Homo-oligomer: A and B are copies of this chain.
Amino acid sequence: MIISMKLHSSKEEIDQVCERIRDFGYKIHAIEGEERVVIGAVGVGDVTACLESVEAMPQVEKAVRISAPYKFVSKEFHTERSRIRVNGCEIGGDEFIVMAGPCSVESENQIMRAAEGVAACGAKLLRGGAFKPRTSPYDFQGLETEGLKLLAKAKRATGLAIITEVMSDRDVSLVAEYADVLQIGARNMQNFALLKTLGKCGRAVLLKRGMSSTIRELLMSAEYIVAHGNPNVILCERGIRTFETATRNTCDIAAVAVLDELTHLPVILDPSHATGKRSLVPALCRAAVAIGADGLLVEVHPWPEKAVSDGAQSLDLSQFRKMMHDLQPYLDLWKESRVTPATAAV
């Protein structure tokens, strides 16, 4: 920790702050500058509690932690890339993984056509929401258990693994019966009751970044799940909320590269929510592959104009096929760089 005192603090005030820090088990190095005193504190203790306490003291200008607040998910302590096995494929490994399917499970016909279509183009997981978080109470809320059963049927027919959202800690065990990967939506990234329950379920978790969450907060939420017992967490960048309205969200593509420096967990991109617009999806997918994401989560619907949700950002099956085809040369480059990683450039 670095604690910066206010200008003109007295010796007595500085001593009080130092004593407080020592009470938390830290060693002190006070630095007297021309204008003010800065205190460095090192050691092992309850950093957050110490920071909170010191910041509340009247003569303290600012208190800043130096070490990262997460451990399990940090690359500093676990340098090798995590590989998460799901239904015979590996996320974070040597294959780029595409997860695709409709926003919501709507009917047997819809989900079966979607599953067959995306499987034929190389997707490894089928997405589809049975529990739907909707801004309005009057909108379609999902088929719930009925939807989960339809996903299971699609899995049996196609061999695709299933990824589907869970919105409440109450539903975790139910959804885990049917899903291979439990998806946590952006609005629930800091639903800590849910995160703790996920720590104890036996399923991989795909954790979407909250729409106004920092990268650090995303990692802290992943840390919750891992610290509670579940190391199989996949991170997902899906766009953040900014002032720009030309796209539904602003895709923070650099977050993929930042996360690659900070964590060993796999990172995938959701170009559908990031843009909200079907015509932009293929371009974003190319960028995601080129920047080194581990996979994609793409909305695909057999008949987007009939979708009950997110139709405008869903590809239809022929558009998805074309996109996967056009993506192939980029996937080849991805594969090459993954198998023989460049020696770090910078």
Residues of chain B with a CB closer than 8 A to A326's CB: 342, 345
Does A120 make an interface contact (CB < 8 A)? no
Interface string of A183-219 (1 = CB under 8 A from B): 0000110111110100000000000001110111100
Residues B49 and A40 in contact, CB atoms below 8 Å apart? no
Interface segment among A31-39, A93-101, A111-119, A121-129: the answer is A31-39
> A57 touches which one: B31, B40, B260, B305 (CB < 8 A)?
B305
Q: Which residue of B lies closest to A333 (CB)?
A: B329
Give Cα A176–Cα B64 distance, bound, in whole angstroms.
38
* B214 and A193 form a contact (CB under 8 A): no
Q: Is the CB of A168 within 8 A of B193?
A: yes
- A70 CB, nearest partner CB in chain B, Å: 8
Tell me how many residues of A have a C-beta within 8 Å of chain B.
122
Query: In the complex, what residues of B have CB within 8 A of residue A279's CB?
Result: 261, 346
CB distance from A42 to the nearest CB of B (A): 4
A255 at the interface (CB under 8 A from B): yes
A319 within 8 A of B: yes
Which residues of chain B are within 8 angstroms of A251 by Cβ–Cβ distance?
A: 252-254
Q: Across the two chains, which residue of chain B brings its CB closest to A212?
A: B212
Query: Are B192 and A167 in contact (CB-based, < 8 A)?
Result: yes
Within 8 A of B (CB), among A124-178: 133-141, 167-171
Residues on B with beta carbons closer than 8 Å to the beta carbon of A194 = 168
Decide: A307 and B53 in contact? CB cutoff 8 A.
Answer: yes
Q: Tell me the bound Cα distance from A117 to B184 in angstroms.
A: 42
A56 touches which one: B33, B288, B290, B314 (CB < 8 A)?
B314
